[in-house]
Structure 1
Amino acid sequence: MRRCRKTLSTAALTALLVGSTAGWASASGAGALNGPPPGTAAWLADDSLGRALPDPTTTTPSAVAAFFADLTDAQQQRLVEDHPTVVGNLDGAPVHLRYEANATAGDQVLAYDPRGRGLIARVAGDLENAAHVSVIVPGSDIDLPTSDRTARWAADLQEAAGDDTAVIAWVGYTTPSGIGADLATGRLAGTGAERLARFTDGLDATGLPDPALFCHSYGSVVCGLAADGTDASDIVVMGSPGMRADDVTALGTGARVWAAKSPHDWIDRVPNVEFLGLGHGQDPTSPDFGATVLPAGDVPAHDAYFTPGTSTLTAFAAIADGGLS
């Protein structure tokens, strides 16, 4: 009976959210940014090297890495100059070339796409020489104009973890905007998971260490769906509405799974069930889920898990630099 009441409360809550936000459809129901990067048509038409350039959509990151490894420095440089919007977003391309291609968007930008609400991936630390790599996957209402918050979290985590760790603020998928259907379903998370898996494949293809994923709020839904498609060493979720999995085993990953939820986080008032595709399932901090639960009693709010001095940031830093097992 208790499970029935919880399921009905979730359905009622979701119906209220979706029904009361009908006027927001253009924002919350916006299509996810997907497909090839800008400039792909010109890239594919370029035959100046005497061979086809790798298709950004169908070529695997490992094949992209092999393609660039076979080029001279001068040939690589010409591709950056002629096709910056492709090279700057091409998973598997060398890190320094992606930085150079995205130089107009800022320092150490690993991906940049200004279309729609915009996507960006920014790096804190020395990624090319890092012994440890972390990727922060943000939740709803984060896009290019609001990406500074995720970049700040990355900088705080990198500083806490130390010089041999690099942290990527990956605003690399279209997040839900406002309160509405997209927040309650896995539609945008599914596309985000595909993009995250390809992004981490690109890190692997360039010889970087297996990353630790730090997934906040709706970003934990993305990480849950991407879990079996990445080579992450660790998956850390915080303020999670669920990972669309009943337990750690259902994630299909060999990564260590960690979870944190503050008693001051409003997410604790959201029922953790999935009903007719609405809601995101089991609470990752529940005993039945099987994740290692991290202390979070001193975290003051939903968006404060990376705050310097908190128990969560201390634990996150230990995970990021490989010191917590």
Structure 2
Amino acid sequence: MADRPRRRRIRRTLLAALVTFAVAVPVSGAARPAAVPAPAPTAIGPLRDASPAALARRYAVSRQDIRAAEQSAKDHGDLRRAASLREFAAPGRQFLSFDGRDGGRSVEVVGELATARRIAVLVPGAGVGSDTYWRLRRDASALRGELGAGGAVVVWLGYRSPATVSTAVLTTERAEEAAPGLRALVDGLRAVRPAARISLLCHSYGSVVCARSAPGTAADALVLYGSPGVGVEDAVALRTRARVWAGRSGGDWIARVPHVRVRVPLVATVGFGTDPVADRFGAEVFDAGDGGHSDYLLRGSRPLANIARIVAGSEPLGVAR
């Protein structure tokens, strides 16, 4: 009983910190380069055919859309965006879809989707857009190398990710908007590659997106890493048959985020609840090394090796429990 007042004080402190952050921090998302104009993309419909010829056609159409967006960025005077898009259109890049509007939406394939037996879908967190996409590409290339023959990585930048410092990053609103698109992608991959093993790799705020798309997902594994919480109290509440994994590196600042969830009157529900690596969440916890928040898929790292093993259907090394 003596601990109860202490727990209440801690909870009030944590809630006050969350509310202060939500109210006082500028909404920097408004300053993101989402205002750079781009033409509407070509209507190519959902993925229905993963034959080499069909994929080649989609990749060619997306490359045309990327080049049109690059020209639009040049005309607007945003040379940084134009340079980023020039890289997108480089020979050998494979985009299932691309939309340059509102900061950019894209789905890129690293590897050969037509023959893939193991497919990893990367779901990024906050602060990711066309201008910072190189980090995702770096991570996808490292993971594809670790998976080896028969592995493909699908980089899903299919939503307006919240700015790293913003009120939006404290709520599930963006995740709820994003979830239908992610679910549709996974359903499409399952339809065209029915025998493949599909894993959702969900980093930081991306784990909140994955949680919203988890019920009934066609994915075989759900991997939450660097997660602030996912908006539910435990893995059972995800209502998924996928095997749920969680990991956090020893040097990740996300460990200091308060794991609470509270309704702020006239604002929103702030916070994401239970820590996914906590025992009571019920995920299977893997060894994620000692790196920082953006280091989980660095080439040669322990978390990269373990995440690749999960994607392949093997047990990770150094499982925490």
So what's the TM-score if we normalise by structure 2? 0.79
1:99 corresponds in structure 2 to 59
2:43 corresponds in structure 1 to 86
1:256 corresponds in structure 2 to 243
1:120-160, Cα deviation, whole Å (9 max, x unpaired):
12111111110111101000000112112112111111100
Unaligned residue ranges in structure 1 (runs of 5+): 32-36, 40-83
2:101 corresponds in structure 1 to 115
In 1: Cα distance, 2:60 partner to 2:29 partner: 38
1:5 corresponds in structure 2 to 9
Q: CA deviation at 1:85?
A: 1.6
Unaligned residue ranges in structure 2 (runs of 5+): 67-88, 264-268, 317-321
Task: Say which SS state the counterpart of residue 8 (structure 2) adopts.
Answer: helix
2:160 corresponds in structure 1 to 174
2:173 pairs with 1:187: yes
Amino acid at match of 1:11: L
2:78 corresponds in structure 1 to none
So what's the TM-score if we normalise by structure 1? 0.78
Q: CA deviation at 1:297?
A: 3.0
2:302 pairs with 1:311: yes
In 2: Cα distance, 1:91 partner to 1:128 partner: 16
Q: CA deviation at 1:171?
A: 1.0
2:276 pairs with 1:284: yes
In 1: Cα distance, 2:208 partner to 2:127 partner: 14
In 1: Cα distance, 2:17 partner to 2:216 partner: 32
Cα 1:109/1:270, change in 2 over 3 Å:
same
In 2: Cα distance, 1:178 partner to 1:193 partner: 19
Task: Say which SS state the counterpart of residue 288 (structure 1) adopts.
Answer: helix
Amino acid at match of 1:306: L
CA contact (8 A) 1:141 1:177 kept: yes
| Among candidates 140, 149, 157, match of residue 154 of structure 1 | 140
CA contact (8 A) 2:62 2:95 kept: yes
Task: Say which SS state the counterpart of residue 139 (structure 1) adopts.
Answer: coil
Cα 1:144/1:281, change in 2 over 3 Å:
same
| Among candidates 285, 288, 295, match of residue 296 of structure 1 | 288
Question: What's the RMSD between the two structures over aligned residues?
Answer: 2.2
CA contact (8 A) 2:217 2:242 kept: no
CA contact (8 A) 1:9 1:271 kept: no
Query: Percent identity of the aligned residues?
Result: 36
Report runs of 4+ in structure 1 exceeding 4 Å deviation.
none
State how 1:219-298 maps to structure 2 within 5 Å: 219-276=206-263, 277-298=269-290
CA contact (8 A) 2:245 2:283 kept: yes
Q: CA deviation at 1:323?
A: 2.4
Cα 1:93/1:291, change in 2 over 3 Å:
same
In 2: Cα distance, 1:262 partner to 1:230 partner: 27
Amino acid at match of 1:320: V
State how 1:211-226 maps to structure 2 within 5 Å: 211-226=198-213
CA contact (8 A) 1:216 1:240 kept: yes
Cα 1:130/1:18, change in 2 over 3 Å:
same
In 1: Cα distance, 2:186 partner to 2:142 partner: 21
Q: CA deviation at 1:205?
A: 2.6
Amino acid at match of 1:258: W
Q: CA deviation at 1:304?
A: 0.2
Cα 1:210/1:6, change in 2 over 3 Å:
farther
| Among candidates 292, 307, 311, match of residue 320 of structure 1 | 311
1:192-241, Cα deviation, whole Å (9 max, x unpaired):
11111111112123235352011000000001111114211000011100
Cα 1:92/1:271, change in 2 over 3 Å:
same
In 2: Cα distance, 1:113 partner to 1:292 partner: 36
In 2: Cα distance, 1:196 partner to 1:223 partner: 8
